[in-house]
Amino acid sequence: MNLIKKLVGYLFQGVLLVVPLSVTIYIFSLTFIFIDNLIVFDIPGLGFLVILGGVTFIGILGKFFITEPIFAFFTNLLDKTPLVNLIFKSIKDLLSAFVGTEKKFDRPALVKINKSADVERLGFITQNDLTDLGITDKKIAIYLPSSYGILGDLYIVPAENVTPIDTNSTEVMKFIISGGVSKF
C-alpha cells in the first residue's frame, strides 16, 4: 500500500512538472504556426522569420529615420479624430506601461479595499494627483490587475488606504497574475 502512495505521489509530481511546460510549448507552437501561416512559403518557419524581420526592420526605421515633425503630424491628425484617438492612445499607453521606456507599473502597493473588512489587494499606484479629474480630496489612482488575465480595474481610493511596498514591481505583477502561486 505504501508503494502505491509513493507511485501516486510521483505521478502527481510528474504532472506538476510536465503540464505547465507542455502547455507553454503548445501555446508557443500555436502562435508560431499562426504567424508562420500569415505568409505562405514552402519552407516551414520562413514566414515567421520574414514577419519577425519585417517588424524588426520597421522598428529600426522608426527609431532612426522617423523624425519628430512626421511623428507630430500623425499624432496631431490622430488627436483630431475622436474614435481613432481614443483607441490609439489607449493601446499606446497600455503597451508603453509594460514594454516602453516609461514603465508605468513601477510603484507596487497594498490596498485596503474596505475599511470595515480586513481585505487587501496588491496593485500599482498610477496617479497621486487627480486634480485634473476634479478630485481634490486626498485620493489616488490604483490599478489592480486580475489574476490569470490581462485585464484589471482602476480604483480611486483614499490615500490612507494605500501602503506602498518596497518590492520589485515585475515580481509583484507576476505574483498577481499567477493568482499568488508564483514565488518572489
Q: Where are the domains of the chain?
A: 2-52, 108-177
pLDDT computed for residue 103 by the predictor: 65
pLDDT single digits (tens) 51-69: 888 888 877 777 666 656 6
pLDDT computed for residue 85 by the predictor: 73
pLDDT computed for residue 53 by the predictor: 87
pLDDT computed for residue 124 by the predictor: 85
Sheet of 108-112, strand order: 152-158, 139-145, 120-127, 108-112, 162-164
Which segments of the chain have a pLDDT < 70? 1, 17, 63-69, 91-104, 148-150, 181, 184
pLDDT computed for residue 66 by the predictor: 62
Half-sphere exposure of 125 (CA within 13 A, CB side): 20
